[in-house]
Amino acid sequence: MFSLPSVWNLIISTVVFFIVAWFVRRFLDEQGIHNGTKRGILVFVIASLISMGAGEAVDWSQKKMESQKLTAKSSNDLPQLTKMINQIPQ
């Protein structure tokens, strides 16, 4: 179910963690919630969950891009292609 995270997953989730932690701290300051252990745990949990979601989104997008590989035409298809081109009315 879980695989090793890619480099992009680690980079994006780390950046997202610090950004979300900053916004959550700022929001809690505006609400007047004092600093303490509960607040620190709340900030950590929220930032962790959102950063894990961002990492999963990166993995999902990489899997989608890897599954859409372009197929190369082989030289065996060339005679068939020339027949199709010659059949086009001019």
pLDDT, tens digit (0-9, with 9 covering 90-100), for 12-53 = 999 999 999 999 999 999 999 899 999 999 999 999 999 999
Give a yes or no: residue 27 inside a domain: yes
pLDDT of 85 strictly over 70: yes
Give a yes or no: residue 81 inside a domain: no
- Work out the number of other CB atoms within 10 angstroms of the CB of residue 47: 20
Q: How many domains does the chain have?
A: 1
Residue-range definition of the domain harbouring residue 22: 7-68
Give a yes or no: residue 46 inside a domain: yes
Q: Is 51 exposed, middle or buried (0-12, 13-18, 19+ CB in 10 A)?
A: buried
Give a yes or no: residue 82 inside a domain: no
The dihedral through the CA atoms of 54, 59, 62, 63 has a sign that is negative
Identity at 85, one-letter amino acid code: I
